[in-house]
């Protein structure tokens, strides 16, 4: 599909599908853009849904925007309105904040490879220092070399990213990604674990079956929220939506309001 329509608002965003159809809103991960979700969004639009993909602050068309997780949630809520919110990794953490801040807008919530935050203050401080060091390293070596290093991390299970995906990530900027790490990284995030029981909408926690750390976190999220389910995506690591888009789309479809 090629008829994505740009939307006006505080962040770069695009829409596809019937305006009157149920809405799904996508938030991407660190170094990605809204384009990362488009293959899955198009699969869901083919099922009769309307999709919105958004470039998060510091990324893609929103590279010049600076915002922490709460402010990002504010901006996405303004663009997305009422619907199902779907977030991967960084985008999942944003969507958890949004669901707590604007529960009346979130009909259902899907998070993939998302972390509700580090409970221990000392561990959180160490992670904040690590995020800052990563931002400095990014600044030192430049975007292309950093992306080569980032996509080669064991977290992604040796998945070979496509040339199109790499080209899309090169639309990002060093300053934008560094700012995202410093303002919206896991180390900067206050833990949401104590508040997960406040989520009054259905929650689907996804993770790649090979991503053992986040599979365990997904199980914990699903068992903590009042109405939660977990689905592990076979033969996928952290970026399961890129490795197994059809399986992720099928799982998301089960979480949509009937």
Give pLDDT, residue 2: 65
Q: Topology of domain 5-253, per CATH?
A: Rossmann fold (3.40.50)
Here the tokens at position 63 are: 């590279």
Give pLDDT, residue 1: 52
pLDDT, tens digit (0-9, with 9 covering 90-100), for 60-115: 999 999 999 999 999 999 999 999 999 999 999 999 999 999 999 999 999 999 99
Collapsing DSSP to helix, strand or coil, 8 comes out as coil
The answer to whether residues 248 and 255 touch, using CB atoms and an 8 Å cutoff, is: no
pLDDT, tens digit (0-9, with 9 covering 90-100), for 140-153: 999 999 999 999 99
pLDDT at 44 over 90: yes
Q: Average pLDDT, whole number, for the chain? A: 97
Give pLDDT, residue 257: 87
Strand pairing report for 13-16 and 5-7 = antiparallel
- Report the DSSP beta bridge partners of residue 14: 6, 53
Domain ranges, ordered by start, for the chain = 5-253
Q: How many helices (H) and strands (E) does the chain have?
A: 10, 8
Please report the beta strands in the chain, taking only residues with DSSP state E, as ranges in sequence order.
Answer: 5-7, 13-16, 23-27, 50-54, 83-88, 106-112, 203-208, 228-233
pTM of the model: 0.98
Phi, psi (degrees; rounded to nearest 5) at 133:
-65, -40
Give pLDDT, residue 258: 78
């Amino acid at each position: 599909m090629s008829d994505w329509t740009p939307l006006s608002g505080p962040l770069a965003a695009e829409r596809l599908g019937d305006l009157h159809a149920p809405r799904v809103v996508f938030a991407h991960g660190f170094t990605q853009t809204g384009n990362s979700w488009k293959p899955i969004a198009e699969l869901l639009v083919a099922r009769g849904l309307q999709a919105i993909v958004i470039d998060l602050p510091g990324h893609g068309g929103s590279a010049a925007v600076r915002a922490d997780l709460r402010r990002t949630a504010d901006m996405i809520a303004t663009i997305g309105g009422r619907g199902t919110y779907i977030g991967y990794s960084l985008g999942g953490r944003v969507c958890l904040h949004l669901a707590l801040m604007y529960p009346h807008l979130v009909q259902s919530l899907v998070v993939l490879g998302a972390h509700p935050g580090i409970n221990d203050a000392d561990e959180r401080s160490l992670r904040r220092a690590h995020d800052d060091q990563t931002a400095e390293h990014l600044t030192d070596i430049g975007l292309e070399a950093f992306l080569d290093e980032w996509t080669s991390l064991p977290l992604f299970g040796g998945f070979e990213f496509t040339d199109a995906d790499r080209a899309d990530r090169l639309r990002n900027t060093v300053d934008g990604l560094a700012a995202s790490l410093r303002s919206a990284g896991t180390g900067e995030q206050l833990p949401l674990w104590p508040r997960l029981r406040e989520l009054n909408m259905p929650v689907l926690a996804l993770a790649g079956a090979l991503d053992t750390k986040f599979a365990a976190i997904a199980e914990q999220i699903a068992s903590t929220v009042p109405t939660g389910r977990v689905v592990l995506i076979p033969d996928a690591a952290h970026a399961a939506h890129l490795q197994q888009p059809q399986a992720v789309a099928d799982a998301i479809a089960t979480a949509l309001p009937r």
